[in-house]
Chains A and B, each alone.
Chain A
Amino acid sequence: MNGFLVWLNSFGSPEKFHRVALRFEPWLLGLALLVGAVGLYLGLVKAPADYLQGESARIMYIHIPAAWMSLFIYGFMAFSGFCALVWRFKVAELMAMAAAPIGAGFTAVTLITGSLWGRPTWGTYWVWDARLTSELVLLFLFFGVIGLYNAIEDQRKGARAASLLALIGLVNLPIIHFSVNWWNTLHQGNSINLFAGKSSIHPSMLWPLILMALATKFWFGASLLARTRIALIEFEAGKEWAQTALFGPRRPEA
């Protein structure tokens, strides 16, 4: 544990973080685009159309990875916020806050693709399905964190307050999920099981899903590093390393 802390702390030096992030970013972005392109090609072109839902089911190659990411990023944000609150790492604070808009973005993508898929499948853009409803509440949780962070003038104070909110939300998330499921069974009338019978998935459908799940992770990594890095430079604009990072090494005064 102690070694882990030391490692985190060394990573937590803004200057070092900036250097490491700058090196990894292009790789992660490249991998995201490459794997994503292959995944989309396999999913949208090569994989067979669903025999029940037809071509429209292909939207799940975006919908499902985005839904996974929305939860993953919420968890990441809360974990990062936890590190920020307990050990007061500046980088962890900014990282948690950089993750929030990305997570909100993936959540929005999940909701939009879900409703687009719902139109041909259910004949309507929105159904109060348990998963979609949970996802909607998740979006509001992200908005709360982003809103609180932006409302507090002192950046570090704001990041810590929003981190605490993210943690409260994390504790609440399984309860929300469970309650929404319970609610859906209580009102049996309009309960439709999204993606029923997914257990016996054909490999030609599984591969694009896995690739897309990987691509979204890479994308998140690249986006997170870039956002955190820029937030750090903004925050420490007056410091020498930030000046050097932006304008190159200062020449000795003539």
Chain B
Amino acid sequence: MEELQNKVPCREEQLNGLFNLLGDGDECLPCSIFISGSMATGKTLCINAVLRCLSYKHVVIDCIECYTPKIIFETILSGLEDEEIEVKCETMMDLVNGLNRLQEAQLGYNPIVLVFDRAERLRNLDANIMSAFLKLRELCNLNICCIFVTHLIYESFNFRRGVREPIKLYFSNYNKEELFKIIFLQQKTFIHHLLVTYEVDNEIKGELEKPELFANFLNAFLSVFYRPCRDLIELQHMACVNFMKYCEPIIKNEISAMDLTKLWRHISPILKSSLELLYLRLSDAKAVKPSPGKENSDTDSIPHNFENMLKEELTSTKTFAQSFELPYYAKFLLIAAYLASYNSPMEDKRLFMKNHGKQRKRLQQVKAKAKISEKLNTQLGPKVFTLHRLLAIFYAILEEKIGLTSNLLAQIATLVELKLIAGSKEIDLDTAKYKCIVGYDFISAVAQTVGFNVRKYLYDFM
């Protein structure tokens, strides 16, 4: 038990609950257990550890892998069978018969546990399958228990017909102290990772291995990251990446390991900027790949690499926009598409004509001017526009006069092809309808390259 709690930290309550419910080998199992809790709270880990510890016969069914009833049934039966044999099982009836046959043949009254991981997927199947599994114990002659593991709460599974209620367990998320404790357990692997990447002499190595250093880092790290993210897996990954950067100056002998304030000043901008990379896992591929090769040759190039990467990532939308290398007119077409999508046609005259005249202010318009933030066009999403309107705006924002050539029309098709504009690929002048599907950041990056101010032409910002 203690060994298990070391393996699965901070989950004593849940482990005890599971042990109590599953009991000893010869006891009766409950009919079904429903385990819910947010992602990365150790649900699957706990249940697997407990089952392994009790050494009950069990089958774990991942409901993503088993996407049809047939696969689920066959996984269950072949998992319970001692020998490897091909099982055919198409319906619930076959499953129940198969289980009963197994009971007579080998299982007897030994406890059997079926674990349905990611059980929320079961909702996509026939509704009766889940209700049948919930009362599987009644349907067949075994000491069997179904455990459903999911990140949704029980209420999200709305059974229309009512079912046999399972016993429910909840896994609450780790709080800050628990996260600290769990990540702290990983200190050894972090250090190991660090030592593999860098060449470190022994004196510094001793300092790096001090737990205080890691604890300090972790405190700083969590103070930045805990707020937007409580996902343990993601935090662990980010901690690993950032710890390397934290230790860099120590390895290079720039900052001593004892100088905490200096270290904090060094790491806080890095943490802030890497916050943007949360969940993206961008650095993963780049940071790891060059390291094994360059490890021995030149250590100087690696920090340089990091800086480059960071800059690149910070301006990611911009670089992404530039990476398309659109032709000059295509850029204007795209901008025109954006303006057409986010302005209402009513305002076109006012926005794009030189002599639109003075607007008379009526009470109605004054009211309409008091824009409600939630009803802004930029927030409601792009509207559909016709080809005519797109071309009209295009000519309005383009200073020079060019003819409408097939080349120009082909560029619209290219934009559609690149998924910057949604619409039909072939150009039919009468019926074609389009919609711009890039965001404001993207379009302002594009507009910058041609020296165009998008904000000036957006009604919302006037």
Q: Do A and B come from one complex?
A: no
**Interface residues in chain A, defined as those with a beta carbon under 8 Å from any beta carbon in chain B:** none
**Interface residues in chain B, defined as those with a beta carbon under 8 Å from any beta carbon in chain A:** none
